[in-house]
Amino acid sequence: MLRARDWLEWQAVSHDQNRNDQQAQLTTSPSPRVPIRWHWTMLVGGAVLAAVLVLLLLILDMERNAWLASQAAQAEVQVDRLADELKIPLLAGSAETDLIVKSFLDKVPAVMAIRLRLPDGKYEDFAKHEVAKDKPDLSAIRGDGVVKLPMDSLWYGKQITYADTKIGSVAVRFSEEKWRELAGTLVSRISMAAGVVVLFAGLLVFWLAGRMSQPLERLAEAAEKVAQGDYTVQLAVSGNNEISDATRQFNAMVRELAHKEEMRGVFGRYLNPKLVSEVFNGGQFKVEGFRHDATILFADMVGFTSFSEATETEYVIEVLNRYFEIFHRIIDYYGGHVDKYIGDAVMAVFNHPHEDPHHAQHAAKAALAITAACKRLAIPRPDGGNISFRVGLNMGPVIVGNIGAVARLQYTVIGDSVNVASRMTALGDGGQVILPRRTFQALKGGFVFESIGERTIKGVSEPMECGMLRPVDKGVQKNIEHAVALAFDLTSPSGVHRQASTDDA
C-alpha cells in the first residue's frame, strides 16, 4: 500500500518518527506513578515519627533514671529501718526475726521479697507470693550503708552489725510495678501527642507539596504537548525560585523549538528533505557522493518563451506557481521528491531520499497524473490554446551528493540517467509522457508503450527506442484520477489536508 500524504509530510517524515519515539518513551513507565505530594508526606511523616520515637526513648530513659534514684532513696530508708529492727533478734537468735520480716512485708507494699543471712551463714527467704527466683549472694555486702545489688531486679542490701561486729545481712527486693505504670502512661500520652503531630504535619506537608507540585504538573502537561508537536505552549511564571527558573527555561526552550520548526519548514521549501531532517535532528549528514538507482521525472512547459513575452511578469509567476503546486502534491503523493525547479521546468526524483522498491511505477503514475492535471487546470495562453507540459521519464543509476562550492552547495542527483530524462521532454508534445523502452519494461504491467522509434540522444552513444506512455489498467487509471483530485483538493482554499492510500502497481 502507498500512503497519500499532504504537502507538508515530506519535510517532516524523520521528525515525526523522532517525535513518536519520544512520545513512546514518555508514555512508557516501568513503575506506578506516585505523586510528589505523597512522597513528601510519607518522608516528613516518617521523619516526624522517627523523631518522636527517639524523643520517647530519651524521655523514658530520663524518667527511669529519676525513678530509680527516687526508689534508691526510699530503699535506703526502708532497708535501714529493717536492719535496725533485726539486730537484737539476730543477736539473741530469737524467733522474733520471722515476725519482724513478715510484718515488714505486710506494711510496705512495694517490697516483694526479703532475704536474710543469719549469723551462722544460713539463708532464710520471705516473699509475698512465691519464693524469689533470683536470689542474691549476701556474703559480698560490705560497709555500713545500703547498696544496690548487681541484679536485674531491684535488690537493695545492707550488712547488719552490732558493736562493729557483723551478725548478718539483709536484702530487700522492691517491685517495679510503679515504673511499668509510669512508663505505660508516658508511652500512651506521648503516642497520642505524636499521632496529632504526625497527622498535622502530614496534612500541612500534603497541602504545601500539592501547592509546590502544581507548577511541576503543569510543566509535565506542557512538556507532553510539546512532545506531541504543539510549540505554542507557554506557561505563566510566578515567584522567584527553582520552579520559576525551570518554567522560564521551559518557555525559552519551547520558543526555540518553535523557531527551529519554523526554520525547518522554511528550509524544507528550498532544500532536500533528507538534508533538512538530518541537520535539524542533529545527525551527521553524509557529504560524500554515492551511486543509487532512481527514476527521474522532468516536466517542461510548452512555449514558455512566447508565453512569458506576451504576459505580465506577475501573472507568469502566478501561473507557474499554480502548476508547480499541483505537480508537487502529485509527486509527493507517489513518494517522489521535487529536486529542483529550473525556470519553467520541474525535476523530481523517485527512490531518493526515501527508498521505494516500486519507484518506476510510481514515477510513471505521477507523470500521467501531471498531464491529467494540466488538462484539468486548462489555463489559456494569450496566443491561443491552453498551457501544457511535456513530461519525460527515465530510470537508471544516478550520483547523489553535494554539488557546488564550499560556500553554496546543492544536494542533488546527477548523471546520464538525469540527462536522458531531461532529453525525453524534447521528444514529445504537450500532454505526452515520453520514456525509453528500458524504463517502460520496469513498470511491470498496467501501461502501454507507443513507440515513436529510435532516437539519438545527446550524450548517449547508441540510439534509444522511445515512446509515449499510456495507462491501460482501470485500477491504474482510477488511482491517477484520485491523485489528481486529491492534489486539487489540497490546493483549493477550502481543501482539507488529509491522507489516503492506494494499492501499489
Q: Which of 273-287, 325-339, 400-414, 435-449 has the lowest mean pLDDT?
A: 273-287
Q: Quick one: average pLDDT of 188-206?
A: 85
Q: Quick one: average pLDDT of 210-224?
A: 81
- Give me the pLDDT at residue 264, please: 67
Which residues share a beta bridge with 197? none
**Residue 449's pLDDT band (boundaries 50, 70, 90)?**
very high
Helix count and strand count (H, E) for the chain: 12, 15
pLDDT exceeds 90 at position 433: yes
pLDDT single digits (tens) 486-499: 999 887 654 333 33
Closest of 399, 375, 371 to residue 296, by C-alpha: 399
Q: How far, in Å, CA of 47 to CA of 284, rounded?
A: 51
| Chain Cα centroid distance, residue 404 | 42
- Give me the pLDDT at residue 353, please: 82
More confident residue, 35 or 229: 229
Q: What secondary structure, in 3-state letters, does 185-251 show? A: HHHHHHHHHHHHHHHHHHHHHHHHHHHHHHHHHHHHHHHHHHHCCCCCCCCCCCCCCHHHHHHHHHH
Q: How far, in Å, CA of 70 to CA of 74, rounded?
A: 6
- Give me the pLDDT at residue 12, please: 43
pLDDT single digits (tens) 153-178: 889 998 888 877 888 898 998 888 88
Percent of the chain whose predicted confidence (pLDDT) is above 70: 85
- Give me the pLDDT at residue 328, please: 94
Q: How far, in Å, CA of 334 to CA of 352, rounded?
A: 12
Within a 13 Å sphere around the CA of 389, how many CA atoms are in the beta-carbon half? 30
- Give me the pLDDT at residue 272, please: 55
pLDDT exceeds 50 at position 8: no
pLDDT exceeds 50 at position 35: yes
Q: Quick one: average pLDDT of 377-395?
A: 91
pLDDT single digits (tens) 454-464: 998 888 888 99
**Residue 197's pLDDT band (boundaries 50, 70, 90)?**
confident
**Residue 267's pLDDT band (boundaries 50, 70, 90)?**
low
Residue 82's contacts (CB-CB under 8 Å, 6 or more residues apart) are 100, 101, 104, 114, 170, 172
Domains recognised in the chain with CATH numbers:
51-181 (3.30.450.20), 290-502 (3.30.70.1230)
pLDDT exceeds 50 at position 358: yes
Q: Quick one: average pLDDT of 355-378?
A: 93
Q: In what order do the strands lie in the sheet with 154-162?
A: 123-127, 111-117, 165-174, 154-162, 147-148
158 grid coordinates: 545492707
- Give me the pLDDT at residue 33, please: 67
> DSSP character for 75?
H
Average pLDDT score over the chain: 82
Prediction pTM value: 0.52
Q: Is 193 left (phi over 0), alpha (psi -120 to 50) or beta?
A: alpha
pLDDT single digits (tens) 472-488: 999 999 999 999 999 99
